[in-house]
Chains A and B, each alone.
Chain A
Amino acid sequence: MKNIIKLTEVHKIYESGTHALKGVNLEVQEGEFLILLGLSGSGKSTLLRCMNRLIEPTSGEIEIDDENVITAKGKRLRKIRRHIGMIFQQFNLIKNMSALTNVLSGKLGYVSLWHAITFSIHKTDIALAMSNLQRVGLEQFAKNKARNLSGGQQQRVAIARALMQNPRVIFADEPVASLDPATADSVMKYLGELNKNDNITILCSLHFLSLARKYGTRVVALKDGNIVFDGTPNEIDEKKFKDIYGEDAEEVEIR
């Protein structure tokens, strides 16, 4: 197994002075389903966004798929990004466009500007988008506007959009935090499937230990911008959990 992600001493200091990442070192192997744990504000979102440069890291080295992310600019950065799918807590779909168009927008990293301006879309892309919608079980909603879909459905459209990129890696930033427990599990199930069947490496931040145990192959916990735990999900016991989430934390079981 080869390393697909390699982070060396990554720091992020925001303009406000917040030191969000304090020298993170992390190696992720191809095919892992890595769960990021940690309190809100511990640096999970910042870490994920630094890896595809939605946020500029202050210092450090980041390598994804043997490409140096830090020095990449313009076209090369776009090329790196198009192999990284991203899923967000708020789904971030374009609300007044159809599910199909939203899925198609995942292909933007591949098409020329002219095609984007004229909205000319290749037939094979439409077929691919439909098959991706089918994979997340939403082919009958292709023509529906994204705003008319439920939260779980919207997140599945977002997964189909990420699939459209033909990704090597998917970053999921609290993908189930605004969903009810049952829907959350079904969304995680789709991510798990992609991980197993398509060999897509997944980095997913979560708050529920139960989901982490069910789907994760590895857990990394952040606290105040430092990695405080790195191991398998089953290694997290009561004491480790309190280390990560603070003394007052109680594990909440959600099934």
Chain B
Amino acid sequence: MKMKKKNKAKAVIQSIATDLLFWIYIFGCLYYLMHKWTGFTAKLHLIGIAALLATLIFQLVRGSIGVKIFLSYAKVKRSFYKSAWGYLTIIALLITFVVGVNIVEVDFYKFFTKFQNAGGIASGIFNPSITGYSLSATSINELEKENLPPDVLSTLEGIQNRKYSTKKVFLEYLQKRLGESTLQKYRSTILKSAEKNTELLNIALSALAETIFLALLATVFAIPFAFVLSFFAARNLMPRTWLGNIVYLLVRTVATIFRSIEAIVWAIIFSVWVGIGPFAGMLALMIHSIAALTKLYSEQIENIDSGPVEAIKATGASTLQTWIYAVIPQIISPYLAFTIYRWDINVRMATIVGFVGGGGIGLLILQQQQLLRWHNVGLLIWLIAFVVWVMDMTSARVREKLGGM
């Protein structure tokens, strides 16, 4: 009887607390909207007072959300105000939506009318810079032998050694400087002596290799750590003694914390620690992969068939022998599948990590984007898309063969 009373008191407190939080939220949202639209200001503690009042009223008529959740057994006759919790929920959802749209600054007008702002990057994507154009000293020498008017020649000399991402960009620039008719007249002569180069493509490919290898190393270095840790993070392997529980909880908690910190944050930390470059990116992805693989691996261990474990234990094998003979054979192929999947994810993440100092193709994109060289950015985007597509396909194929996931 006493127990029941205690439970009821607890439920009443929970119910009131829920209501109070609910009303603080509602009045807070309403205040935000009023402030934004009309510039209305009020003392903030008024929100608290209003919330307290509303809580009191709705607790008294027993129609609030808190009453519904925690005191639902207190059913009295059904009156319209007793089901107020339903209307309150709908109103709360509507207010949340309106506030959300305001905070996120949703603006569909901009979305549909300002596309031309992204024109640079769009043209970059449709016309990526595979070969760059420039006029070197030899080109100028060649052009001097042609019969070009002196003003055209001096313009061309003015842009000696300047690099243009694509033929189109080069010609557009010349057209601006020389005028359309002049350009049409000497177009073929200029193009003949202009030098093509694949400088950017070379840089991009080596950056791409950097990205793939840093993702690979991050995965490979993560495997032994995750492999060992996963055994300690598997509920069915850890004995239910106080030591077993502590180790299990510790490994689980640390893995969860490390996993919830995004790789990009790790990259920022490590780019300060070891300097900007692929090594920082590798460390960031490695830490994140260890945490993620530990979780995936240990779940795989928790899913194994306990029969063979029992059988091997019954032969008199030690704990470690049992793990080697009964657990590992069951997990080896799902482990491989997960690891390949992780490499796949790491290649994708390596690009992002590059943006904050993790090296590789991400860093190159950042540089080119800041120079507004959209055609170069276009090439890089295509390269990344291609690699991710290939990785995705092969990893899916291999995983299918391994029978995991």
Contacts and interface: CB of A to CB of B under 8 A. Distances in A.
Contacts of A106: 315
A150 B320 CA distance: 30
A81 B320 contact: no
B17 interface: no
A127 interface: no
Interface stretch (A84-92, A133-141, A197-205, A211-219): A84-92
Main secondary structure of the interface of B (DSSP, over half): helix
A81 B322 CA distance: 13
B24 to A, nearest CB: 43
B316 A78 contact: yes
B329 A84 contact: no
Interface stretch (A22-30, A93-101, A239-247): A93-101
B314 interface: yes
Contacts of A165: 315-316
Contacts of A84: 314
Contacts of B307: 88, 90-92
Contact of B314 (A54, A79, A91, A94): A54
A52 interface: yes
A81 B325 CA distance: 17
Contacts of A107: 315
Nearest to A110: B316
Given A93-B308, A96-B329, A54 B313 contact: yes
A86 B313 CA distance: 10
A78 B313 CA distance: 9
A54 B306 CA distance: 12
Contacts of A94: 308, 312, 325-326, 329-330
Contact of A113 (B308, B315, B321): B321
A168 interface: no
A105 B315 contact: yes
Contacts of A110: 316
A117 interface: yes
B311 A86 contact: yes
Given A91-B307, A95-B308, A108-B325, 6 more contacts: A86-B315, A94-B325, A94-B326, A96-B333, A116-B321, A165-B316
Interface of A: 52, 54, 78-86, 88, 90-97, 105-110, 113, 116-117, 158, 161, 165
CB-CB nearest 7 A-B residue pairs: A109-B316, A82-B316, A92-B307, A108-B317, A92-B311, A81-B316, A86-B314
